[in-house]
Structure 1
């Protein structure tokens, strides 16, 4: 987690340097915005506070937060898209019958979810909106337990997630 903090802090400092060395007010504003975004995220990692993203129970992040953190969110979206394309490990894997493990879901994963009759998703990301299951026409039971990358969940978060998984496994839902 400290590595993430340092990387985001370093990027924030790079954007501060760019804002200082740029004469154009529009570019300077963009660099300051990017710096603020990365400083806010580095603070979240430093304090282990995923609540900075204000992710709601339905998996959405408020528009104001998305706007404020847009430089960070855009950069991580680009990184994830490239990393996912280059990774040889499947995005979704069956751990045991009816229990799947996945990285961040993309709309292209909906076919896989339908094919395997997956009706429940436990989302442990703090920084990304979930897929909008309603717009995608899916009846997906959803729970978000926001945890920052490479951080340790609280005992309450682990208990909540395990109880939720147990309930869905008992009811026969993947």
Structure 2
């Protein structure tokens, strides 16, 4: 099992805790407390994202892609860390915001702005539990499958997403599936149901 996110978060929790201890030793008590809190949040995410536990609903992302205010406050150390990390990773890697795997079906990362969406007013399948649906995307058909980064949705969720995507394509609506392992699993499942399609990206 891939425990990548769990390991990353426990390393972050450790680093933040060491900063907390160092500041405590320097008598910067008030300054140290945010680092202790962030360390505890990171540890909680590490546990919840472990493959043997896997609770993506921890962050309470809603089906419309928004988060409750209390979640944004409580989990802010993690939520804003992953957004900054995602932006920097994409900026430094130079990766494309999306790729078309077959006619009208795209996969890619979290679309943090309009120019990161494929053309044609696509329907969106969101396979993240930590990224919000942007306000400017409210006019797009939307399906939310909260999933930790480096994890896959449940088999039933994948099946539902494939059926949803198939209906959209039958209506000639483009489909954009974004983020992490959910992209790969759903895209592969969609392709297996449509073997007549040419899928150059997935065959690489």
Provide TM-score, normalisation by structure 2.
Answer: 0.76
How far apart are the structure 1 equivalents of 2:130 and 2:65?
10
Tell me, in whole angstroms, the C-alpha distance in 2 between the residues paired with 1:3 and 1:99. Answer: 28
User: Contact between 2:61 and 2:130, CA under 8 Å: does it hold in 1?
Assistant: yes
1:128 paired residue number: 131
Shift of 1:103: 0.7
- Match of residue 38 from structure 1: 42
Runs of at least 5 residues in structure 2 that lack an aligned partner in the other structure: 175-204
Q: Give distance in 1, aligned partners of 2:93 and 2:7.
A: 25
Give deviations 1:128-168, integer Å, cap 9, x for gaps: 11112xxx275201110111111132111111111110111
* Aligned counterpart, 2:19: 18
104 and 151 in structure 1: CA distance in 2 versus 1, 3 angstrom threshold: same
Partner of 1:86: 92
* Distance in structure 2 (CA, Å) of the matches to 1:121 and 1:108: 13
What SS class does the counterpart of residue 147 from structure 1 fall into? coil
List 4+ stretches of structure 1 deviating above 6 A. none
Other-structure match for 1:117:
120
CA distance in 1, matches of 2:89, 2:99: 17
Q: In the alignment, which residue of structure 1 is the partner of 2:10?
A: 9
User: C-alpha deviations, 1:10-54, integer Å up to 9, x for none?
Assistant: 211222222223222321211112112201210111211101111
Scaled by the length of structure 1, what TM-score is found? Answer: 0.88
Once the two structures are superposed, the pairs formed by residues 47-58 of structure 1 within 5 Å of their partners are 47-58=53-64
Count of paired positions: 168
- Specify the SS of the correspondent of 1:80: helix
Q: SS of the counterpart of 2:64?
A: coil
8 A contact 1:54–1:62 mirrored in 2: yes
Aligned to 1:165: 165
* Runs of 5+ unmatched residues, structure 1: none
- Deviation of 1:108 (Å): 4.2
Q: Report what 1:106 is aligned to.
A: 112
Change (3 A) 1:158 1:16: same
Over the aligned positions, Cα root-mean-square deviation in angstroms equals 1.8
Change (3 A) 1:9 1:138: closer
